């Protein structure tokens, strides 16, 4: 059972993907973290973010089972991830590894979340969700998350960063951020996590039953 969850930055897709994975007893991969791992490694090595060869070398060796969410989720790394994510050969290298993850673990299935899961990585997923929320809501949630981890965050700066990143992700030539034709749109603006989770489970159940 493969479940594809896509959506823009800070839409809540990661939380929903984790909750769905627990609910259905499936493995979960936050594919954003794989792009973040590549961006962070290039930054740490002082390598240019458009050095595709160096990026691919990282993509081929990074351990998808052991991505350090706390370290990689730092706000600044999102920008580096979004820049490396425009390189087609780097994407191909990561997509191959993401698909291998999805097929692994005994083949029971997996939940993957990202930007191109329903369109490129898992086009045959049984359920596809495209999770959105209005930009101000997403910025507020991301800022709250940063503060909760002890950092400081300004909603207005975060909003500007998210909008810039969404634009780059939506405008890129390869695997842009967009809903698959057969994705179900879930707008979580004004929903708390429990409401969004219930809605997501209902969508997956309907998709499984072939009623979408
Ligand atoms: O989801 P997250 O915000 O961690 O993703 C960081 C960046 O990685 C995104 O802005 C996007 O450019 C890139 N990404 C992608 N395709 C995915 C997941 C993430 O291009 N499947």
Report which ligand 1 atom has the smallest distance to the Cα of 33.
4
127: phi then psi, degrees, rounded to nearest 5 = -135, 135
CB distance 114 to ligand 1 below 6 Å: yes
144-184 pLDDT, tens digit each: 988 988 888 888 999 999 999 999 999 999 999 999 999 99
CB distance 38 to ligand 1 below 6 Å: no
Q: Is 209 exposed, middle or buried (0-12, 13-18, 19+ CB in 10 A)?
A: exposed
Nearest to 154 by CA among 133, 140, 136, 138: 140
52-75 pLDDT, tens digit each: 999 999 999 999 999 999 899 887
Please give the pLDDT value at position 110.
Answer: 98
Task: For residue 164, report the distance from its CA to the centre of ligand 1, in Å.
Answer: 13
Task: For residue 115, report the distance from its CA to the centre of ligand 1, in Å.
Answer: 6
DSSP label at residue 119: I
pLDDT band for position 42 (cuts 50, 70, 90)? very high
Question: What are the extents of the domains in the chain?
Answer: 2-205
Helix axes 31-45, 52-61, angle to 10 degrees: 120
Segment 101-114 mean pLDDT? 93
Tokens (6 digits) for 138: 């997403």
Which CATH code, of 3.30.70.260, 3.40.50.300, 3.40.50.800, 3.40.50.150, is assigned to 2-205?
3.40.50.300
Task: For residue 49, report the distance from its CA to the centre of ligand 1, in Å.
Answer: 15
CB distance 169 to ligand 1 below 6 Å: yes
């Amino acid at each position: 059972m493969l479940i594809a969850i896509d959506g823009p930055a800070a839409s809540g897709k990661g939380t929903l993907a984790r909750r769905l994975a627990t609910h259905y007893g499936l493995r979960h991969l936050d594919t954003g973290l794989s792009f973040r791992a590549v961006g962070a490694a290039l930054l740490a090595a002082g390598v240019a973010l458009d050095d595709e060869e160096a990026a691919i070398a990282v993509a081929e060796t990074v351990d998808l089972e052991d991505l350090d969410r706390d370290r990689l989720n730092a706000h600044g790394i999102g920008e580096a991830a979004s820049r490396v994510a425009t390189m087609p050969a780097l994407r191909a290298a990561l997509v191959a590894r993401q698909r291998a993850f999805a097929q692994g673990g005994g083949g029971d299935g997996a939940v993957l979340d990202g930007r191109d899961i329903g369109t490129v990585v898992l086009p045959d997923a049984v359920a596809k969700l495209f999770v959105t929320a209005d930009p101000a809501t997403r910025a507020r949630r991301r800022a709250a998350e940063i503060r909760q981890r002890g950092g400081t965050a300004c909603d207005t700066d975060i909003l500007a960063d998210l909008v810039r990143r969404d634009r780059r992700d939506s405008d890129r030539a390869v695997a842009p951020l967009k809903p698959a034709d057969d994705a179900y749109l879930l707008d979580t603006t004004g929903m708390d996590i429990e409401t969004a989770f219930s809605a997501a489970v209902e969508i997956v159940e309907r998709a499984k039953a072939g009623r979408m």
